[in-house]
Structure 1
Amino acid sequence: MGTDANIPAFVINLDRDIARWQDISGALTRLEVPFERIPAIDAKKRMTLIRRVIRRDFQFAPANRAMKAGEIGCYLSHIAALKRIVRKNLPAAIIFEDDAAFDVRFPQFYRHDLPRFLMTSDIVKFEGIHYVHTSKSGVSLIKGEAAQLVVPLKPALGSAAYAVTRTGAIKLIKALSVADRPLDHKLVYYDRHGIDFAETQPFLVRQADYDSSIELRNLDAPPLQPAERLRREVASVGRGAKRIAYVARLLIKRRLLGAKSPSAA
């Protein structure tokens, strides 16, 4: 995959969200990004059918709650987009949610940086939501024209814009086979799904100011019991160790690949 590639995009959009579709389709047309609409699964209307076809509980275990209908629909819609990439045998593609809004530097990133970044990582995330527990920096892999590619130890959440290689799509479909947490959590947990993952700094896409299609999460959950708090702290240390080992492995692999490339001779 060389530079200046026209990487296609798939846009997840609910049938009722006509204004969103008009906005993002117009933006992508102006940006000269080839795109295709993926009809989003409206779990609020089709939950009975979903539970009949997928016989499992949609429980967000770490938060001790059931997944919301909107979260389930979003999750299944992303799987549909990933399967489209595999069926079309595309070397790489972008997945957008329909509330994506673009930075002025996005055209430069799309034309020049993204093709190079996808040669290093099977998932390149270029939109994200930071919280107090997420990293705003990371280990740098490549410096591009509009952004650099980094591996954060605590990735940002959000799933409005990311690119995957075909290999990444195949692996993600497998990783998403059990819906036990919202899609954005599964996407960034590279220590669990084991797919080469990185994100850009800065992010070149943000979520536009629309009302959320996903129900607000419960912010009034009861406080954690001491035993559960301790369990989570121990688990967090374990995840941190796995992520450090992952970053080290990725850097070693990148160095070995660079040593084998003709340009390094």
Structure 2
Amino acid sequence: MAQQMELPVFLINIERAAARRRLIEQQAAELGITLERVAGVDGSLVPQADWADADVDLFRRRNGRPMMAGEYGCYQSHLNAFRQLADSGRPAALVIEDDVALSADLMQRALSILEVVPDDCVVKLVNHRTVAFRPLFTSARGDRVGFSRFGPQGSSACYLLTAKAAERLATGMRPQSLPLDSALERSWQHGVPIYTSEKNLIDFGALRNETLIASQADYRGLKLRGWKKMPTHLFRVGEALRRAAYTFF
């Protein structure tokens, strides 16, 4: 059935990232891919006092640093994508960020994966790392899909999203207390199976290093030190155990 459906491609993009949008729209046009824009939230334009569905105190304890405006915007942007699919009446969509490099076979491989996975899941198609992969499904095109037993894997730049999953994530991932990448993978919390392809289906684009969230120096400068970071260490140990229990059994 998935092979016959027309899979929409949702592009998450904020207004000031015009160069990114032009570049990926050019790629898409050359490949015959139609993009539907999801209005991204520019966190730099939203005063912290106006942040909705964000638990900044819990975020600080879990991550060992304050939440940054770019992280808030990224999270809200993906929630917008969930709501957009849920409201559209369509069964699934491919969600991409504007710093990926599209490939000629992406749509066919994505549709083939949809054929073999449940209709209430997310499948991440690009990650920074996949450790101790546990295969569960293999598409007709040979892409293996399953769990990464260790994480977080990093990056939510490209993933398959089913409508049933979108409905549950739109409420189950609120309020924000983690970066989007980490929160999305927490199936044990929001109840939606989050699978991953064993190998990335696409690469990151030329503008990947021009981050709109924060630099590594920004992250380092905000980190808590010493005993103040103990709640973070304890949370991460607990998360590793919860992930292991979910993905191993």
Q: Which residue of 1 aligns with 2:136?
A: 141
- In the TM superposition, what is the alpha-carbon distance from 1:42 to its structure 2 partner? 1.3
Q: Secondary structure at the match of 2:220?
A: coil
For each residue in 1:32-57, what CA deviation from the matched residue of structure 2 results, as whole angstroms up to 9, or x when unmatched?
Answer: 33321112111212x23x63362754
| Residue identity (%) | 23
* AA in 1 matched with 2:202: V
Runs of 5+ unmatched residues, structure 1: 250-265
Q: Which residue of 2 aligns with 1:153?
A: 149
Paired residues of 1:58 and 1:72 also in contact (CA < 8 A)? no
- In the TM superposition, what is the alpha-carbon distance from 1:120 to its structure 2 partner? 6.2
* AA in 1 matched with 2:131: K
Runs of 5+ unmatched residues, structure 2: none
For each residue in 1:194-246, what CA deviation from the matched residue of structure 2 results, as whole angstroms up to 9, or x when unmatched?
Answer: 211100010112332320011124225354439928x735x555434433443
Match of 1:228 among 215, 218, 230: 230
* AA in 1 matched with 2:38: I
In structure 2, relative to structure 1, the CA distance for the partners of 1:169 and 1:100 (3 Å cut) is same
| Moved >6 Å (runs of 4+) | none
For residues 138 and 201 of structure 1, the distance between their equivalents in structure 2, rounded to whole angstroms, comes to: 7
Rg larger in structure: 1
1:1-265 map, 5 Å: 1-45=1-45, 47-48=46-47, 51-52=49-50, 54=52, 57-59=55-57, 60-61=59-60, 62-103=62-103, 105-111=105-111, 113-119=112-118, 122-130=121-129, 135-144=130-139, 145-155=141-151, 156-210=153-207, 211-216=210-215, 217-220=218-221, 221-225=223-227, 228=230, 232=233, 235-236=235-236, 238-247=238-247
Q: Which residue of 2 aligns with 1:253?
A: none
* AA in 1 matched with 2:163: R
For residues 228 and 106 of structure 2, the distance between their equivalents in structure 1, rounded to whole angstroms, comes to: 46
For residues 183 and 92 of structure 2, the distance between their equivalents in structure 1, rounded to whole angstroms, comes to: 20
* AA in 2 matched with 1:98: D
Higher relative contact order (CA 8 A, sep 6+): 2
In structure 2, relative to structure 1, the CA distance for the partners of 1:240 and 1:37 (3 Å cut) is same
Paired residues of 1:14 and 1:41 also in contact (CA < 8 A)? yes
Paired residues of 2:137 and 2:144 also in contact (CA < 8 A)? yes
* AA in 2 matched with 1:71: E
What TM-score, normalized to structure 1?
Answer: 0.79
* AA in 2 matched with 1:180: S
- In the TM superposition, what is the alpha-carbon distance from 1:183 to its structure 2 partner? 0.9
